[in-house]
Amino acid sequence: MTSLLPIHELDTFISTRDALHTVAEHVLAKARYLDDREIRLMAFAGGFATPLLADGRRVRVDVDNLVVDGPAGSRRTGLTTVEQAADFVGIEPGFPDELYASATQLRADQPLNVDRDAARVLGTWYGFSAEVLAEFATEIVEAHPSPLILWPEHFDQAFFTEDEEESRRANYGASPGDEGHREPYLYVGPWGAAPSNEFWNATHFNGAVLPLSSLVATVDPSETAARFLRAGRALLAPS
């Protein structure tokens, strides 16, 4: 199981997260869209990635580097600007806005200012939460969990359930933080109104959150995360 890393400078983490979010939308999602008209990404060692594309390539972010893997080997470069990153991949930068508006602004030639330590924390968070969520999905197969997806527009990864009873359906995911909650967090987001319980502590959406700081303070973050997800499920689907 991936070991979590704590955040030492939250403002630096946020600026790095936001910079990498622009890369996710305007470079990686664009590269995938040109390949198969999909934009879904995935957690990958050191950060996040496209799935394998039709030509056998994969575009990914490894900490503060952009990497293109392919049949002939791998190429990597440091992340400086979105324009430079897109040129390295061989595409024009820009989220496919025929789908919907991007969450980040395209400033192609603006320096990205990615802090290596903060980027490592983000990559570790994606790896940890991908393992936790995938393991939890195996516990609730009766709810027909969807594949785990890293969404470029929200920059979070999640799966949803398709229970026969709609009141039991929910999103189970992990965010790297947002305007409503600045640090990374796990979440359970019911599709309908959450039942009355102090567990549902989210202030900016319908659901519950468990922040990174609470996880790293425990002896076993993986088990703490699993208990949180199970608690949300139990409240929605009592046995």
**Which is nearest to 140 in space by CA: 117, 104, 170?**
170
What pLDDT, on the 0 to 100 scale, is given for residue 1? 74
Q: What is the dihedral of CA 19, 125, 62, 78, to 10 degrees?
A: 30
Residue pair 161/168 in contact (Cβ under 8 Å)? The answer is yes
CA pair distance 152, 124, nearest whole angstrom: 17
Question: What local confidence, expressed as pLDDT, does residue 148 receive?
Answer: 98
* pLDDT tens-digit profile, the chain (239 residues): 788 999 999 999 999 999 999 999 999 999 999 999 999 999 999 999 999 999 999 999 999 999 999 999 999 999 999 999 999 999 999 999 999 999 999 999 999 999 999 999 999 999 999 999 999 999 999 999 999 999 999 999 999 999 999 889 999 999 999 999 999 999 999 999 888 899 999 999 999 999 999 999 999 999 999 999 999 999 997 65
The angle subtended at Cα 187 by Cα 216 and Cα 64, nearest 5°, is: 60
Predicted pLDDT of residue 195: 84
pLDDT value for 239: 53
What span, in angstroms and rounded, lies between the C-alpha atoms of 182 and 47? 19
- pLDDT attached to residue 238: 66
DSSP H/E element including 22: helix 10-23
* Residue 3 confidence (pLDDT): 86
